Structure 1
Amino acid sequence: MNSTDFKTRLAALATQNICVIDASISKSDYTPIDLSEANTDLQNFDISSSKDWDTYITNYLNKRNKKVAFGGYLEKRGIYNRSDYFNNPNPETERNIHIGLDLWIAAETSILAAFNGEVDSFNDNTNYGDYGPTIILKHELDGFVFYTLYGHLSRESLSNLKVGEKISQGQAIAYLGRAEVNGDYAPHLHFQIIIDIQDKVGDYPGVSSLIDLDFYKENTVNPEAVLGL
């Protein structure tokens, strides 16, 4: 099975109602959110402040009577300008295109494994604006190996994990972290589906530059399709 066939096969699993956050929350309680440079609402608060982001997300959900805001795959964002970890004056090499799915919900929400698999690696990525505590799981589908990444977790989520530990689909593997440990963001899960992990350990780029985008589009899968969003 090549990567194109794999992506088609994986998207077909959406009928299974796969969840990566608290399964008691219905998909009808999810709402899309646009955090791209085109969203003029983002000009009305300090996007370098995790507290302001938390207020914005909370108000956004309350106005819509929803519990989870989701989106961001291949979205060009301005928020990364606040961090030297991403910032680069060259428009082609600046990393500002998001290549995972963000699901915005309160800290301590349980995080679930999307598929059967095992713990591949984990790490606390402490750069400002980075993932914070991160878990990567390894999976196999019809002989095709792939990976899922769960970022912005609580620090306690990494306790007692073991590489190679078997994980079942839907199993609670972590909890969302607060701003002081999650890279200084409003609480949310960064969920990413990766084909070739490229020998990365406990980390994988979640934001791409324009010059590298074609590679990452090929090496990642749009999680919205898989989750049926």
Structure 2
Amino acid sequence: MNFSNYLHSLTEEFTPIVEYTSKEDYIQIDLSVHQKILKEAHTLSSLWFQQFIENFVSSHNKKVAIGGYLEVRNLYNRSTYFTSTKINSRNIHLGIDIWSPAHTAVLLPLDGKIHSLQNNINHGDYGPTIIVEHEYQAQTFYSLYGHLSLTSLNGIEINSKLKAGEVLGYLGKPEENGDYAPHLHFQIIKDLEGNRGDYPGVCAAKDLEFYKSNCPDPNLLLKFK
């Protein structure tokens, strides 16, 4: 069984990773380069972006916006962390984002244990981040949770075991989450390549084929669509 089919087999239905547990509360959002409004300079402001997300969600009578896997985004142009050189400019999103208010609880989708944690403090980076290790059917893989609150890292012990549905942490505010509107970056990783507390969540086009294989669509697990 290939890795994508394996992931899909681990859950039978919609599996929430934030406290909103009804699939009807979610709506998919497009934050790609095709969104004309997101090409404007005011998208550099996390406050503007938060209001944009909130307006979109409320206008559809939903509670959570979700999406973004392999989405090409202008959002990263505001940070030199992603745009060091033209050939290495990173703008392809490798996880999914769950856009929800700060302090929203983050739930673990599967049993696992704490692999590592770190506060990634570059502008536009993850901020507080937790990586969980999972093992099923003799296969090991990892899930990454970025843009958490600083308090989410308190009292976390490496190798401590967690059950599916347990609260892992809470979404952070812009001043602690890398300067973004509050959201969760959720990513599946087959091989961490020796990383701890961090792993690329955005890639350059030249590296896309590798990362598509190593970081498959989280929706295989979550089944939100």
Band of TM-score, shorter chain: over 0.9
1:178 is aligned to 2:181: no
Pick one of 187, 208, 211 that aligns with 1:213: 208
In the other structure, the counterpart of 2:79 is: 83
Cα pair distance change 1:75/1:192, threshold 3 Å: same
Deviation per CA, 1:44-78: give whole Å up to 9, x if none. 66111000000100000010000110111000000
The runs of 5 or more residues in structure 1 that have no matched partner are none
Pick one of 183, 188, 192 that aligns with 1:197: 192
Counterpart secondary structure, 2:151: helix
Q: Note if contact 1:154-1:178 (Cα within 8 Å) is conserved in structure 2.
A: yes
In the other structure, the counterpart of 1:124 is: 119
1:48 is aligned to 2:44: yes
Q: Note if contact 1:70-1:103 (Cα within 8 Å) is conserved in structure 2.
A: yes
Deviation per CA, 1:167-191: give whole Å up to 9, x if none. 1111101000000000000000000
Q: Note if contact 2:38-2:75 (Cα within 8 Å) is conserved in structure 1.
A: no
1:164 is aligned to 2:162: no
C-alpha displacement of 1:41: 2.7
Pick one of 55, 58, 79 that aligns with 1:59: 55
| Count of residue pairs brought into register by the alignment | 224
Q: Which amino acid aligns with 1:19?
A: P
1:6 is aligned to 2:22: no
Q: Which amino acid aligns with 2:8?
A: A
Query: TM-score, with normalisation over the residues of structure 2?
Result: 0.96
Counterpart secondary structure, 1:46: helix
Measure the CA separation in 2 of the matches of 1:162 and 1:79. 33
C-alpha displacement of 1:225: 2.6
Deviation per CA, 1:92-119: give whole Å up to 9, x if none. 4210000000010000000011211100
Query: TM-score, with normalisation over the residues of structure 1?
Result: 0.94
In the other structure, the counterpart of 1:31 is: 27
Counterpart secondary structure, 2:44: coil
Report runs of 4+ in structure 1 exceeding 4 Å deviation. Answer: none
1:73 is aligned to 2:69: yes
1:112 is aligned to 2:107: yes
| Percent of aligned pairs with the same amino acid | 46
The runs of 5 or more residues in structure 2 that have no matched partner are none
